[in-house]
Amino acid sequence: MIEIHLFEQLVTFASCGTLSAAAEELHISQPALSRSMQRLEEELGVKLFDRQKSRISLNETGELAVRYARNLLLQEHSMIDQIREFDRKKHTISLGSCTPILIPDFVSLLSELYEGMTISTELTGDPNLTDRLKENKYQIAILNEKPDEKEFYSVPVESEHLFVCLPPEHPLADADGLYLRDLDGQTFLLYSQIGFWDALCRREMPSARFLVQQEMDVLGELVANSALPAFTTDYIINRDGIQSDRITIPILDKEANVTYYCACLLSERAKFKAVFQHFQR
């Protein structure tokens, strides 16, 4: 049994070239390192160094030992990382969501139901969110459609409908409803944190330009002070009220009127039973 710090010191020496430099790097004194290397040789029962009076260098065996030692150190670090990562996962629930609107509610709910656990959430436009469940990147997810594969369990949570906000003078402002493709080619104000809506808009309106805003209140400001069309949803209208100086027209595309599903792997259904029950009432 040879302690790993000796190998660490050996590797540092190999990188630095002299004991003094390595000692400095390791924040120990030069004599301490000198003795460590003597001890290492002694415990291995093998000479690792060529010693001239005022110069020490690795011999062939030493070079070999350094290669092995580098390897061993890498393995130890990776091992420690993986143990910590495993433990972290035990104490965190990762939620992946295709929409921002439900995230706060889910965080509160999960925190309440799973006391002591860390709740980690990620808003993502990833179209294959279910694959992330399979990989266990997320243990629970909010999807914009019911997952069809058998290995998932899911319940509906909430629905949301997309609207476009047009200035009254806009040529399409008197429509009762619009398809996204009717709006293609125009320039829109768009909030950046909108999850799956983003891909939908870009797919259905390939020629449109989007002025993406990072900040919600900057976006509001711009909408209020420009004639540019923007989007909203019934969820936002219910929360913030309607934009009075705008005409709000429903979007008719099927995919723009979604029901969100909360899903997990079937094998984890029991773990999240409490969550599902909460929405089934």
Which of its own copies, DNA, none does 18 bind, CB closer than 5 to 8 A by kind?
DNA
Closest CA to 11 of 50, 43, 40, 31: 40
Which of DNA, its own copies, none does 20 bind, CB closer than 5 to 8 A by kind?
DNA
Chain centroid offset of residue 1 CA: 41
User: Judged by CB, which is closer to DNA: 29, or 277?
Assistant: 29
The stretch near DNA (CB under 7 A) out of 24-32, 74-82, 95-103, 167-175 is 24-32
CB 95 within 8 A of CB 120: yes
Which of DNA, its own copies, none does 84 bind, CB closer than 5 to 8 A by kind?
its own copies
74: contact with its own copies by CB under 8 A = no
Which of DNA, its own copies, none does 222 bind, CB closer than 5 to 8 A by kind?
none
Strand 257-265 with 209-213, pairing: unpaired
* Residue 281, amino acid: R
CB 130 within 8 A of CB 139: no
Distance CA(262)–CA(106), nearest Å, equals 10
Residues 6+ apart with CB under 8 A from 236: 101
Tokens describing residue 32 = 């301490």
Please report how close the Cβ of residue 64 comes to its own copies at its closest, in angstroms. Answer: 5
27: contact with DNA by CB under 7 A = yes
Closest CA to 199 of 116, 93, 281, 124: 124
Please report how close the Cβ of residue 87 comes to DNA at its closest, in angstroms. Answer: 18
32: contact with its own copies by CB under 8 A = no
Which of DNA, its own copies, none does 248 bind, CB closer than 5 to 8 A by kind?
none
Distance CA(56)–CA(59), nearest Å, equals 9
Which of its own copies, DNA, none does 69 bind, CB closer than 5 to 8 A by kind?
its own copies
7: contact with DNA by CB under 7 A = no
187: contact with DNA by CB under 7 A = no
CB 248 within 8 A of CB 232: yes
Identify the residue among 10, 12, 49, 256 touching DNA (CB under 7 A).
49
Residues 79-118, one symbol each (x = binds its own copies by CB under 8 A, - = not), give xx-xxx-xx--x----------------------------
Residues 6+ apart with CB under 8 A from 215: none
List residues binding DNA (CB under 7 A).
Answer: 18-21, 27-32, 34-39, 49, 51-56
